[in-house]
Chain A
Amino acid sequence: MYRQKYLFLLPGLLVLVAIILFPLLFTIRVSFSSWDVYNPGLNWIGGDNFTRLLADSRYWQALVRLSLLTLATVTLQYVLGFGLALLVWRDIAARRLFRVLFLVPMMTTPVVMSVIWRTIFHESLGPLNPILDALGIGAQPWLSQAGHALAAVMIVEIWQWTPFMFLMLLAGLLSLPQEPYLAARIDGAGPIRTFLSVTFPMMAAISTGAILIRLIEASKLMETIYVLTSGGPGTSTETTSYYIYIRGMRDFQIGYSAALSLTYLVVMIVSLTVIAKALTRMVVKD
């Protein structure tokens, strides 16, 4: 019955196979080969790439660094985004203007933004250090010292993606019902208690959604690093995707970078699933 339905499904299926399934299967196959710039081709070397990967401390360091960066930036983005959303939620002067203004960073091309930030952070030519000097804080080695460079990456990430949190959380706030607030007033709750007992619990679901989306996005962190620090100084700001880029696209160790990508994919799927489950369990108790 209706056998022709498969005919109509075919175009979508073909696209799916072409853009997801084939690359994935091909990557798996490549990861068991020693394909590189000298010996291109699909030979079979078994699990050698994976054994090498297990001992590759630069890869695991990048992974740990990425996790910490992601958790820290997403947390800060959430706190700042929530704060801004609360600010322009109620009637304040020019709140429409502010709502649009807060979105500007998100609407700008990431690479362009990173280039501008690199200029700002530039230690001798950028505008930031003279300002810090004038304030008496003194010039900082923004991009030439490990700790500072990490901070610079975080600042750019937070600056660029807080608007996303802001947008999601403001949408959530605007959809909240009025009655719980009236009830809290009648019960005699002050502003802080009202936030903790009314606003925050009602925002839990949308918060989870926003945090998960940002975690997934942030774990792909790459272009900011590429433009801002190129992973340096040394390897101190290298993230996993940037390291895979170096191995694959710069050193042309295609086989090895395929093994790195696959491992990265599995780690990400597992850890994000666990985080998603944990967050959802915290929120949805029914």
Chain B
Amino acid sequence: MAEITLETLGHRYAPGLPYALRPFSMTWQDGGTYALLGPSGCGKSTMLNIISGLLRPSDGRVLFDGVDVTERDTGKRNIAQVFQVPVIYRSMTVAENLGFPLVCRGVPAARIRRRVDSIAERLGLARHLKRPAHALSADQKQLVSLGRGLVREDVAAILLDEPLTVIDPQLKFELRRILKEINEEFRLTTVLVTHDQTEAMTFAKEVIVMNLGEVVQAGAPRALFERPATEHVGWFIGSPAMNFLPARQESGRVTVPGTTLSAAAPEGLGEGRLSLGFRPEHARVVSESPQVAGQVERIWFEGSDEVVALRAEALTLRVRLPGGRVLATGDRLGISVPPENLLIYRDGRLVA
């Protein structure tokens, strides 16, 4: 168990190439849960491989509990990593798989057996111990991968590299629950890499959103949801994506032309491409003097909610409304957004 500090950490695969991971600094607390969220190729796997030591960073340092481990070999870092594809040692039984890291470290057989038994018990693999590992189902194999990490008592952190991608949807939920329980019980620093926002938001206390090799925003799921630092985060987090409407600065206010949506411009807003953003969840239907009025273009049924695409002249926006409303495409609909939920973005970045 360890606190992980990343000091101006960055990586280029070759000098002269652009950064695959732009230098940044961050500290992950001991026992915390973190999620790296971003689209494919955003640098999240690069970051994970640097932390596990499979990749030497070109810039910066990695510290575990204040000790520099940047140059330390993977095997000596005491990291556990679970990959997207379940990795098991084909020729071994489940018990041999779980014990393998201890065998490699020369732990006495009796202690290995005790340790394997207790971990298998915890992960619900106890009755499979004698079975060949390749005969397990994908989610059980993923548990075995995780178990190989947990079996070491001194493990510093668990890195999960999209571990739920190849798991069946029904089992995904169950596996996620086990991961969460394990984290709470063992108080292990856990880092989850994913491109699935729901996975990130439900699992981690802190979500780090990445895009194009850059850490765009880091914070609690609610903060990311309520105040996305960039338009990209707004798009990426939340379903449906946040609305961003092109806006203009007029006499101390930022307004969206063709509507009465407006927010007070902060001091020194400066020049640039302006937009007003709000969450589809924050829109309310009003019958009198709506801020935006438009035509219903599409309706998506989402259980107790309905997502409605609204077209108001050149603007298209989405709102999430409580279900049960008798709406049809082509209906007129007026909405308002409370002023505290309107956010101003300049050149794609949050201003106020």
Contact = CB atoms under 8 A, between A and B. Distances in A.
Interface of A: 177, 179-180, 182-183, 185-190, 193, 197-198, 200-202, 204, 285-286
Interface in B56-101: 74-76, 79-81, 83-85, 87, 89-92, 100-101
Interface of B: 52, 54, 74-76, 79-81, 83-85, 87, 89-92, 100-101, 104-105, 132, 134-135, 145, 148-149
Given A185-B54, A197-B92, A180 B87 contact: yes
Contacts of A201: 89-91
Contacts of A190: 104
A181 to B, nearest CB: 9
Contact of B75 (A187, A197, A202, A285): A187
Nearest to A190: B104
A72 to B, nearest CB: 26
Contacts of B101: 186-188
Contact of A185 (B74, B132, B134): B74
B89 A186 contact: no
Q: What's the dominant secondary structure at chain A's contact region?
A: helix
A177 B86 CA distance: 11
A272 B91 CA distance: 25
Given A179-B87, A198-B89, A186 B81 contact: yes
Contact of A188 (B54, B84, B105): B105
Contact of B83 (A182, A185, A187, A204): A182
A177 to B, nearest CB: 7
A182 B81 contact: yes
A172 to B, nearest CB: 14
A186 B90 contact: no
12 contacts: A179-B87, A182-B52, A183-B145, A183-B148, A186-B101, A186-B149, A187-B100, A187-B101, A188-B104, A201-B91, A204-B91, A285-B134
B110 to A, nearest CB: 20
A193 B106 CA distance: 13
A198 B133 CA distance: 13
B52 A186 contact: yes
Contacts of B74: 182, 185-186
B145 A187 contact: no
A154 to B, nearest CB: 31
Contacts of B75: 185-189
Nearest to B82: A183
Contact of B132 (A186, A188, A285): A285
Contact of A183 (B83, B105, B132): B83
A189 B74 CA distance: 10
Contacts of B79: 186
Contact of A187 (B54, B91, B132, B148): B148
A179 B85 contact: yes
A283 to B, nearest CB: 10
A200 B90 CA distance: 10
A9 to B, nearest CB: 41
Nearest to A183: B87
Contacts of A180: 87, 89
Contact of B104 (A193, A204, A286): A193
Given A186-B81, A189-B100, A197 B89 contact: yes
B91 A186 contact: no
B161 to A, nearest CB: 9
Q: 5 closest pairs, A vs B, by CB?
A: A188-B75, A201-B91, A188-B104, A187-B101, A183-B87
